[in-house]
């Protein structure tokens, strides 16, 4: 079915595939989550996490802990692992690994631009940026007044440059333009990543097609739900959907006209993989990501899957910490996604 990856993959990718499979073994288990969900304070959470791979990152944090501190330190671990993989990778794996971070880069660009529009200090904004999405000239974003300047002064030398072709206008930046820019950039990035994976071919193309298609479909649902009742028209909404995925193109046509969550549910239930989407969306995604580790070897999908699973784990820890800090432990299972 695929190419002869088994013969050649390990020459350049074998070491890192072994590394990432080792990293995957360090993901929190259901038993870890059960212990964490029973914690009474954030210090209890820190104590439980000290027995996991997050231990070294949290051990020097003084009490009282804050939920943002827990998230920051756990994110640092992910960043360290990613950087280790990136510095050991050769082409095309290094480009593949860089693609994984472009989403964070887009989020950081939008954060800086939005914060500057609201007259916030650049240093304060830089501290809130995701470390995986940083680039050298990011602070210069604060001087741009419109998207043309944004592109010309800063983004032309970044990997996001090709995604800007549909965004460049001379209109001054405002909340609406920034939102459209965010979604247009992300759409272009996903489609570019998809094409790159298709070019790689073999098992990577096969597995990444499914994973990125799910990402595109999830994005379409989010855009639909978040735009219900806003001033975004049907045409504008449709323009933000990616041009691939299981829902493309007929599902997108139906989603574009949805006015409430029930209509969205009705559209999604026509697609068998998404029939139980509202009850198990996140869990379904985690299962799909984890499958990438077990079902095939010798492909780059394991790296993408690992990064996504770690990010989900960090979101779980954030939610558990918030519920514990706010004394709302009964709500902890609302949003925790058990990966195993």
Partner 1 sequence: MMEDQEEKGNAENGIGRQKQVKDEYLLQFLDSLDGYLTLLDSLSSTLSQGWLELASARHAMGASRINGALLDLKVHAAATSLKVSEQDVDSMESQPCFTLCKWASSDNGERSSGEEKSLSPQLRHRNNSQLSGIISSPQRQKSLSVFGVLVSPKLRSAQLSFERALETLVEIANLHTTMLSMFEQVHKELENTNG
Residues near 175 by beta carbon (within 8 Å), at least 6 away in sequence: 114, 117
Binders of partner 1 in range 88-127 (CB under 8 A): 107-108, 110-111, 114-115, 118-120, 124-125, 127
Binders of partner 1 in range 11-50 (CB under 8 A): none
- Considering the rule CB under 8 A, would residue 315 count as an interface residue with partner 1? yes
Of the pair 143, 257, the CB lying nearest partner 1 is at 257
Of 40, 98, 172, 259, the one binding partner 1 by CB under 8 A? 259
Report the DSSP beta bridge partners of residue 172. 146
For the window 205-234, what string marks contact with partner 1 as x by the rule CB under 8 A? Answer: -----------------xx-xxxxxxxxx-
Q: How far is the CB of 304 from partner 1 (least distance, A)?
A: 18
Q: Taking a C-beta distance cutoff of 8 angstroms, is the pair 148, 123 a contact?
A: no
Q: How far is the CB of 243 from partner 1 (least distance, A)?
A: 19
Structure tokens at 187: 């759409």
Q: How far is the CB of 38 from partner 1 (least distance, A)?
A: 19
Of the pair 17, 313, the CB lying nearest partner 1 is at 313
Positive or negative, the CA dihedral 302, 304, 308, 313 is: positive
Query: How much helix, strand and coil, in percent to the nearest 5, is found in the chain?
Result: 70, 0, 30
Of the pair 137, 328, the CB lying nearest partner 1 is at 328
Report the DSSP beta bridge partners of residue 146. 172
Question: DSSP readout, 86-143?
Answer: HHH--TTHHHHHHHHHHHHHHHHHHHHHHHHHTT--HHHHHHHS-GGG--TTGGGGGG
Residues near 24 by beta carbon (within 8 Å), at least 6 away in sequence: 293, 302, 306, 309
Q: How far is the CB of 202 from partner 1 (least distance, A)?
A: 32
Q: How far is the CB of 3 from partner 1 (least distance, A)?
A: 36
Positive or negative, the CA dihedral 177, 115, 103, 230 is: negative
Of the pair 104, 291, the CB lying nearest partner 1 is at 104
Of 176, 250, 257, 275, the one binding partner 1 by CB under 8 A? 176
The rounded distance, in Å, linking the Cα atoms of 287 and 307 is: 14
Q: Taking a C-beta distance cutoff of 8 angstroms, is the pair 193, 99 a contact?
A: yes
Structure tokens at 75: 């994110």
Q: How far is the CB of 171 from partner 1 (least distance, A)?
A: 10
- Considering the rule CB under 8 A, would residue 322 count as an interface residue with partner 1? yes
Within 13 A of 228's CA, how many CA atoms are on the CB side? 15
Binders of partner 1 in range 48-77 (CB under 8 A): 68, 71
- Considering the rule CB under 8 A, would residue 128 count as an interface residue with partner 1? yes
The footprint of partner 1 (CB under 8 A) covers 68, 71, 107-108, 110-111, 114-115, 118-120, 124-125, 127-130, 174-179, 182-183, 222-223, 225-233, 236, 259, 261, 315, 318-319, 322-323, 326-328, 331, 334-335
């Amino acid at each position: 079915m695929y190419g002869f990856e088994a013969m050649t993959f390990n020459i350049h990718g074998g070491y890192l595939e072994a590394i990432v499979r080792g990293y995957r073994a360090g993901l929190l288990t259901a038993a870890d989550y059960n212990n964490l969900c029973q914690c009474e304070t954030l210090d209890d959470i820190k104590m439980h996490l000290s027995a996991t791979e997050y231990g070294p990152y949290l051990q020097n944090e003084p009490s009282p802990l804050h939920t943002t501190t827990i998230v920051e330190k756990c994110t640092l671990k992910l960043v360290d692992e990613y950087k280790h993989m990136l510095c050991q990778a050769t082409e095309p794996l290094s480009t593949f690994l860089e693609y994984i971070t472009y989403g964070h880069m887009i989020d950081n660009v939008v954060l800086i631009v939005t914060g500057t529009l609201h007259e916030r200090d650049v240093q304060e904004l830089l501290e809130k940026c995701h470390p995986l999405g940083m680039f050298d000239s990011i602070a210069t974003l604060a001087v741009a007044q419109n998207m043309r300047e944004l592109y010309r002064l800063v983004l032309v030398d970044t990997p996001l440059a090709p995604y800007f072709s549909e965004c460049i206008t001379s209109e001054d930046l405002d909340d609406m333009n920034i939102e459209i820019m965010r979604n247009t950039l992300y759409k272009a990035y996903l489609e570019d990543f998809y094409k790159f994976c298709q070019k790689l071919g073999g098992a990577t193309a096969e597995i990444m097609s499914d994973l990125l298609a799910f990402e595109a479909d999830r994005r379409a649902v989010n855009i639909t739900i978040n735009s219900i009742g806003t001033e975004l028209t049907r045409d504008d909404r449709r323009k933000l959907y990616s041009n691939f995925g299981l829902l493309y193109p007929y599902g997108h046509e139906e989603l574009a006209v949805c006015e409430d969550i029930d209509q969205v549910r009705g559209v999604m239930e026509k697609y068998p993989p998404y029939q139980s989407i509202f009850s198990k969306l996140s869990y379904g995604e985690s299962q799909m990501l984890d499958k990438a580790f077990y079902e095939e070897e010798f492909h780059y999908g394991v790296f993408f899957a690992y990064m996504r699973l770690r990010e989900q784990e960090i979101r779980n820890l954030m939610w558990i910490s918030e519920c514990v800090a706010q004394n709302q432990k009964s709500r902890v299972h609302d949003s925790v996604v058990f990966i195993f």
